[in-house]
Amino acid sequence: MKISKICCIGAGYVGGPTMAVIAQKCPEIKVTVVDINEARIAAWNDENLDNLPVYEPGLDKVVGEARGRNLFFSTQVDAAIQEAEMVFISVNTPTKTYGEGKGQAADLKWIELCARQIAAASDSDKIVVEKSTLPVRTAEAVKDILSNTGNGVKFQILSNPEFLAEGTAVEDLQQADRVLIGGENSPEGKEAIQALVDIYAHWIPRERILTTNVWSSELSKLTANAVLAQRVSSINALSELCEVTEADIDEVARAIGADSRIGGKFLKASVGFGGSCFQKDILNLVYISRSYGLTEVADYWEQVIKMNDHQKGRFARKIVKSLYNTVSGKKIAFLGWAFKKDTNDTRESAAIYVADQLLNEKAQISVFDPKVKYQQIQSDINYLQTRGKEENGALLESVADPYEACKDSHAVAILTEWDEFVQYDWKKIYDSMLKPAKIFDGRNILDHEQLREIGFRVYAIGKPLE
């Protein structure tokens, strides 16, 4: 089966970049990305590529090359579904905020709506691809909805989870470690798998395209994120031990990672992981395990989240303690708000939770982030509903200049590892701050020796104090 038209439902951080790369690599396939969010679609269609709704290095070039040729962004969801032979579902699957499984289970409301919309808009057979991260066995429900339309249209469901990391999405998509495709072990299932393999084979070496049954594919994505997050929580747990024993976490991580069985990646201690996926996917894994009665399995993975919360909390407490146990009315500069560098995504960013704790202590926070705007910062902090919007507005500001954020502050906290922070004129920043001037390096990116020579008191993750 040869695919000539693809529709992708959901023009977010995954749908946008993924489809842009498919369109770039497969010029003979028409790719239409649809979304109900009109503003988002308008931004994807903006003449000025600086205004794309997702910031990713290199994405502007890919979109610039394919948009209007074989890549289209539209709000006409039904029309795009109808003409496509293959429909990707790439909508959000956040943690449930209500009812059964609140705070843990994935909210599949949007997935079900998509399935129903696909069922209603289809008048020819289609392959439906789960691109969103979904709880294991979701395909069963999707299939049930799709196969009961009564109009004779046949659907094959594939699971094709996305492993890109924000900040390196384009590179990850163009040179994926692996592509995972799960499908049914029937002749029709195999044909559908082959159709999707043929698309990726335009640019991914065949041996990196793994095919499995649907359930392995669904479960692999959740568990890949759990294992990645577990490495971060493991090294963060050790960072606290380093601080009390005068070991240095970067040295320990290097020694651990030099073991070829372990490897050096994802062993960087920090203020804690963020992002829309790790926490949500682990909570979901915990929920699923518990729903099958696997208490020990659930408890084991839950600890990864608890450790992460602890790491964020103790970073905030360390700031308060070192500022003589009171930050009330004191200006504290935040460098970084995004959950990691090279993205404008702030979902679950550690900065939000550290800020919230400091605002509880009535600190005055001034934020600078190269890619995150004031509105986003306010909406992130208001979302927690810890205090009123007016109070958040009064205590938390954001400025367009890092030097202004730091001026007259008691402390500077590094919350995101943006490269440009390393290049700043730290002497100039020191001179503009109240003394003793303190730096809390939540990402261990700055040259601490040099900062101490300037006169700063430096607090870093997993490092001896002096």
The interface region with ligand NAI, picked from 108-116, 349-357, 364-372, 374-382 by CB under 6 A, is 108-116
Q: Is 35 in the site for ligand NAI (CB under 6 A)?
A: yes
Site membership for ligand NAI, residue 23 (CB under 6 A): no
Give the separation between CA 332 and CA 318, rounded to whole angstroms. 13
Q: Which amino acid is at 293?
A: G
Residue by residue, DSSP assigns 19-61 as: HHHHHHH-TTSEEEEE-S-HHHHHHHT-SSGGG-SS--TTHHH
37 touches ligand NAI by CB under 6 A: yes
- Residue 329, judged by CB atoms within 10 A of its CB (0-12, 13-18, 19+), counts as exposed
Q: How far is the CB of 250 from ligand NAI (least distance, A)?
A: 26
Which of 42, 53, 46, 37 is closest to 91 using CA atoms? 37
H-helix or E-strand containing 209? strand 209-212
Complex with ligand NAI: residue 133 or 270, whichever CB lies closer: 133
User: Contact between 4 and ligand NAI (CB under 6 A)?
Assistant: no
Dump the DSSP string for 433-451.
S-SS-EEEETT--S-HHHH
Which one of 11-19, 178-186, 321-329, 443-451 is the stretch in contact with ligand NAI (CB under 6 A)? 11-19
Residue closer to ligand NAI, measured from CB, 167 or 183:
167
Q: Which amino acid is at 458?
A: V
Q: Are 211 and 261 in contact (CB under 8 A)?
A: no
Residue 138 is a binding residue for ligand NAI (CB under 6 A)? no
Piece in contact with ligand NAI (CB under 6 A), picked from 13-21, 145-153, 174-182, 432-440: 13-21
Residue 93 in the binding site for ligand NAI (CB under 6 A): yes
Find the radius of gyration of the CA atoms of the chain: 24
Which residue matches tokens 């008048």? 123
Q: What span, in angstroms and rounded, lies between the C-alpha atoms of 377 and 388?
A: 14
Indicate the residue type of 253.
A
**CB of 233: closest distance to ligand NAI in angstroms?**
19
Nearer to ligand NAI, 162 or 441 (CB): 162
Q: Which of 26, 114, 277, 406 is catalytic?
A: 277
Which region, judged by CB under 6 A, interacts with ligand NAI, from 9-17, 120-128, 185-193, 202-210?
A: 9-17
Query: Is residue 73 a contact point for ligand NAI (CB under 6 A)?
Result: no
Task: Compose the 151-190 pattern: x for residues touching ligand NAI by CB under 6 A, - for all others.
Answer: -----------x-x-x------------------------
Cβ 295 to ligand NAI shortest distance, Å? 26
How far apart, in whole angstroms, are the C-alpha atoms of residue 9 and residue 266? 31
CA–chain centroid gap for 229, Å, is 12
User: Nearer to ligand NAI by C-beta: 36 or 141?
Assistant: 36
Map the footprint of ligand NAI across residues 269-288, applying CB under 6 A. 276-277
SS3 227: helix
Cis peptide before 436 (omega within 30 of 0): yes
The upper half-sphere exposure of residue 195, i.e. CA atoms within 13 Å in the direction of its Cβ, equals 24
Minimum distance, C-beta of residue 132 to ligand NAI, in the bound complex (Å): 3
- Measured from the CB of residue 435, what is the shortest distance to ligand NAI in angstroms? 41
Count of residues in contact with ligand NAI, rule CB under 6 A: 28
Mark the segment that binds ligand NAI (CB under 6 A) among 89-97, 189-197, 380-388, 440-448.
Answer: 89-97
Options 6, 8, 13, 236; binder of ligand NAI; rule CB under 6 A: 13
Q: Does 87 bind ligand NAI (CB under 6 A)?
A: no
DSSP state of 96: P
Contacts of 390 (CB under 8 A, 6+ apart): none
The answer to whether 277 is a known catalytic residue is yes
The closest of 399, 162, 354, 157 to 276, measured between CA atoms, is 162
In terms of phi and psi (left: phi > 0; alpha: psi -120 to 50; beta: otherwise), the region of 10 is left
Q: Is 96 in the site for ligand NAI (CB under 6 A)?
A: no
Q: Shortest Cβ contact with ligand NAI: which residue?
A: 12
The yes or no reply on residue 113 touching ligand NAI (CB under 6 A) is yes
Using rule CB under 6 A, residue 326 touches ligand NAI: no
For position 12 contacting ligand NAI by CB under 6 A, the verdict is: yes
Distance from the Cα of residue 250 to its chain's centroid: 24
CA dist list (Å): 257 to 168, 254, 264, 290:
22, 5, 4, 32
List interacting residues with ligand NAI (CB under 6 A).
Answer: 9-15, 34-37, 40, 77, 90-93, 110, 113-114, 117, 132-133, 162, 164, 166, 276-277
Residues annotated as catalytic (active site), given as ranges: 277
